Each structure stands twice: as C-alpha cells, then as structure tokens.
A = this chain, B = another copy of it.
C-alpha cells in the first residue's frame, strides 16, 4: 500500500516546487530505495500531462555509477557524455530524490574522480545554479539516513515527513517577517553557551527558503559582510558534520571576519585542516536562522539540521554570491548552534529571538 504522505510529498515536488506543465520533459534523478515516492512522482508527472525521464542510480551523485566513476579514464571524467549533458541542458524541470542505501558509499570512489566529474558537469548544470530551470532536491527516509540520525527507521520517517509536509505559503509569510526585520538591521549579535559573536549584515539581504529548490525549506539566510565577524562561538550542542565526519565541541574566535583561533574536543586536526583548505575557508560565507518547526532534533544531515527551529548556523567558506557575498572558497561548511537553552539573537542591540523563540 502506498503511503499517502508520499503522494502529498510528490505533489509538493511536482506542483509547488517545480510547477510541472503539460508537455514538459521532467528529469527525475533518484535512488531505487526511493521507490514509493518515485512512483508517486511518476504518477503526478503523468497526471500533469508531462513526460518523465527517470534516471535511477545506485550512487547519490547522479553523475554516474560509483563503479563507473571509480574505473573510468581521467579524460572521460573531465567531459560529460553528450547525452547526459543534453538531458541536464534540455530538461524542463529536474527533481532529485536522494534515498541512500549507505551514506558512506562514496568512500569507495577516489575524491579526485568525483571532483573531476562535478567540474565536468558544471556547464550543463549552470541553468540549475541560476534557477533558469526549475529544480528541487529532496530526501526519502531510508534506513541509512535514519541510522545517521540515531533513530529507528519508522520514527525517522515521521520526522522527515513532518519537516517536509508543511503549509509552505504560511511558512513563507512567517519567515518573510523575520527576514524583513533583519533587512532593516546593520548588526547581528549571537549570544549563547560559550558564544558572543557580532557581524555586520549592512547592505546584505536575507533570503527566505520556504521550499523552493530544496525540500525541506525553513530558513532565512544571508552572506554577512566578510571582514565583520568579531568574537567567539562554541558549537557545544551538536557536532559539526562534514563528509561523514563528526567534529565535536567546535570553538571559533573571529577577528576582522577571520577565524583566527579554532579548537575542537574531537577531530580537531580535521577541523584545522579543513580551515586551511584555502584563504576563504576561515571567513564566513553564510549566516542562517533555522525556522522549520517540524525539525526539533539534530540528525547529522545538514539539509535538515540547518533548518532546525531555534538554531542558527554559520557556514565557513564560500559565500552566497547572488546575495552579495564575496568570499570564495572550495568549502561551504554549515555548522549549527542551538539557541534554545539560554541563547539569543540581537539586531542593532534589540533582542529579536530568545531561547529559540521569536519576539518579532
């Protein structure tokens, strides 16, 4: 029996996120374990009178099978297959359903190979980056994702659907109010456990993510002024997760925008190595405020964690260039800070959120 939540989920993706129109060619990238949702997408695309081009893959990069990527010659990794390129360039909409069987599967693939392929795909994906083509990425509740979250699969499914299946119009309206308040301000101050950090957002604007190109939505975010961060922040509540590695108890001290001091309780060497990736890796690329009431716990899954209600996140590295961010880096590492127990956000000295609850 189909889960009625998958039908609702499919409609959210097909109708709300990409707005499929009759005659469109809809490229659906997915993993086999996402089948219940994928079947509802197939049906919804058909009912909108559009073509479905399903590309199921055993890997989650959607640019090639792990076994192919690991054994293909370098030249082939550096140029996308013409037919693959054309699908990305000519599809009228793209829906990606990540449903991993094992979130560490890519450990079997050399990282230079993945990077080469990602670079090769960039020209064909340009229209996704610029939102010239409507697209959405989302996840399906598999045992592997539940395991990363430390939850039983059925509980994880409840969690995921509750994060995803929301009244996004109402959420957008609510978050727009917060974003407007930020847009009027010049300085943000974040105070919490081991944390007192200020930064300027003068001239920068906040974007509302209410379920567009990624589902779940539920954050407002901007690129803060690059040289403005001052003070320190301790990510005491949750690990910072990157490439499947947990860095626990991260503490950063900023001067003139740069993280000049960094430490961690676990995996400090990995933290420091990552901060030394390039010049931009020690500067902030993003300040985001999690606003999704369905996300009440950390699940070691950035797309969800960063939207957790009552948290903020900072991304080290590459800025959001279409929001005025100028920082450039190969990394963009979102790290989440809980403000629900004794934290607050101030805008130009006014408290706008206390203990995770909005005062706006």
Contact = CB atoms under 8 A, between A and B. Distances in A.
B65 A52 contact: yes
Contact of A83 (B35, B46, B53, B65): B53
A147 interface: no
- Chain A interface size band reads 35 or more
Contacts of A45: 68
Interface string A81-117: 1111011001100000000000000000000000000
Interface stretch (A70-78, A133-141, A168-176, A195-203): A70-78
B68 A42 contact: yes
A42 B25 contact: no
Nearest to A50: B76
Interface in A233-281: none
A56 B71 CA distance: 20
Interface in A38-83: 38-40, 42-43, 45-47, 49-58, 64-73, 76, 81-83
A58 B55 CA distance: 11
Nearest to A67: B42
Interface of A is mostly: helix
Nearest to A56: B56
A32 interface: yes
B53 A84 contact: yes
B53 A56 contact: no
Contact of A81 (B51, B67, B84): B51
Contacts of A76: 46, 49-51
Contacts of A55: 54-56
Given A25-B81, A47-B71, A55-B55, 14 more contacts: A32-B32, A35-B58, A38-B58, A42-B65, A42-B68, A46-B67, A46-B76, A51-B83, A52-B65, A53-B81, A53-B83, A53-B84, A83-B86, A83-B91
Interface string A343-357: 000000000000000
Contact of A46 (B35, B38, B72): B72
A137 B39 CA distance: 25
26 contacts: A25-B82, A25-B83, A32-B32, A35-B58, A38-B58, A38-B65, A39-B58, A42-B66, A42-B67, A43-B67, A43-B71, A46-B67, A46-B68, A46-B69, A46-B72, A47-B71, A49-B72, A50-B76, A51-B83, A52-B65, A52-B68, A53-B81, A54-B57, A55-B55, A83-B87, A86-B86
